[in-house]
Chains A and B, each alone.
Chain A
Amino acid sequence: MSDHLARARAFIDILPHSRALGMRLDQFGDGQAVLSLPYDARLVGDPATGVLHGGAISALIDTASGAAVMAHASAPASTATLDLRIDYMRPATPGRTVTAHAHCYHVTRTVAFVRVTATDDDSGRPVATGVAAFTLTGQANVP
């Protein structure tokens, strides 16, 4: 594991809500972040089917998006969600880990734009996609 990923992982681990949900950072760098959320019965939204609650997927998507902003080359000091829109394509398969791939594809001096896709092990059919705008402060390398 690179030092870079280890530092980023330590950063995610101290976010209490992400830790409580059991999120794991798998990739971090070049404006991209990959986070996974292992299946957990406490996070079920529909007791009849065992499908995870949309809120848990939203939290994963929000965290992955924020991490992608922090992974951008402009090296911001901090960021916060301005708006987030999530489309749910299908229920996540019960028992399977959900993984979110977020890409911060453009930044200005003040705003970062992110696209994100969440999949389970059937990666050809997304569980959810999201688009988000984030605030940016204290960038070390202003574009």
Chain B
Amino acid sequence: MTRSTPEPVQVVKSRRDAALAWLVKAVPYIGFLGVQFDRRGDELTAVLPFREMLIGNPALPALHGGATAAFLEVTAIIELAWATMWEDLEAGRLDPSRIADAALPNLPKTIDFSIDYLRSGLPRDAYARARVTRSGRRYASVQVECWQDNRNRPVALGSAHFLMPEG
């Protein structure tokens, strides 16, 4: 019985990291907010490092509700695009070494977004994770959660619908 040799772990990691970086770097607004993504396998954690420009209420001080909303929306869109890209990447249909200069695949479009503000955002780093609860050919539903110091004390919860790109 013959078995193909598994790919070296570094090859797999660098391919996945390159694909994620390609997706994230293409969107100017992600750079404007300063959102970064940690990857463990296919799981993404979005990180919003604290900066003064994220403040909405200087008296408290607290993060701007709009900055929190934008962070949740960025996390949801990237999670959805990443989940779609992951299958092609693992099946070998997508080669990041060749796509680096290629046009980005069409991104999902937000249909609606609903946010629950549970606590005021503190002037420190924030984290978020999104879960695709339904992914169809046309529509997708995503839930997203943002926290700071304590994972079980969320700052905000979001729920969104997206229109999937055609093709």
Q: For the complex, what is the distance from the CA of A66 to the CA of B57, rounded to whole Å? A: 11
Decide yes or no: A87 and B56 within 8 Å by CB, A55-B74, A80-B62 being known contacts: no
Whether the Cβ atoms of B54 and A17 lie closer than 8 Å is: yes
User: Count of chain B residues with Cβ under 8 Å from any Cβ of A?
Assistant: 41
Indicate the size class of the contact surface on chain A.
35 or more
Whether a CB of chain B sits under 8 angstroms from the CB of A53 is yes
Q: For the complex, what is the distance from the CA of A112 to the CA of B71, rounded to whole Å? A: 24
Residue in contact with A83 in the complex, picked from B58, B71, B116, CB distance below 8 Å: B116
Residues of A with C-beta under 8 A to B71: 55
> Whole-angstrom distance from the CB of B154 to the nearest CB of chain A?
14
Q: For the complex, what is the distance from the CA of A49 to the CA of B29, rounded to whole Å? A: 13
Complex: chain B residue closest to A61, CB-CB: B66
Residues of A with C-beta under 8 A to B52: 16
Q: For the complex, what is the distance from the CA of A12 to the CA of B56, rounded to whole Å? A: 9
Residue in contact with A46 in the complex, picked from B107, B111, B112, CB distance below 8 Å: B107
Whether the Cβ atoms of B117 and A81 lie closer than 8 Å is: yes
Contact residues, B69-87 vs A (CB, 8 A): 69-71, 73-74, 77
> Whole-angstrom distance from the CB of B11 to the nearest CB of chain A?
28
Residues of A with C-beta under 8 A to B70: 53-56, 58-59
Whether a CB of chain A sits under 8 angstroms from the CB of B26 is yes
Complex: chain B residue closest to A52, CB-CB: B29
Residues of B with C-beta under 8 A to A6: none
Mind listing 29 A-B residue pairs with CB under 8 Å?
A16-B56, A17-B53, A17-B56, A17-B67, A43-B28, A43-B29, A43-B32, A44-B27, A46-B27, A48-B103, A48-B106, A53-B29, A53-B73, A58-B66, A59-B66, A59-B70, A62-B64, A62-B66, A63-B66, A80-B57, A80-B65, A82-B116, A82-B117, A83-B115, A84-B65, A87-B111, A88-B110, A88-B111, A88-B112
Pairs A-B, 7 closest by C-beta atoms: A59-B66, A55-B70, A17-B64, A53-B29, A62-B66, A20-B53, A81-B65
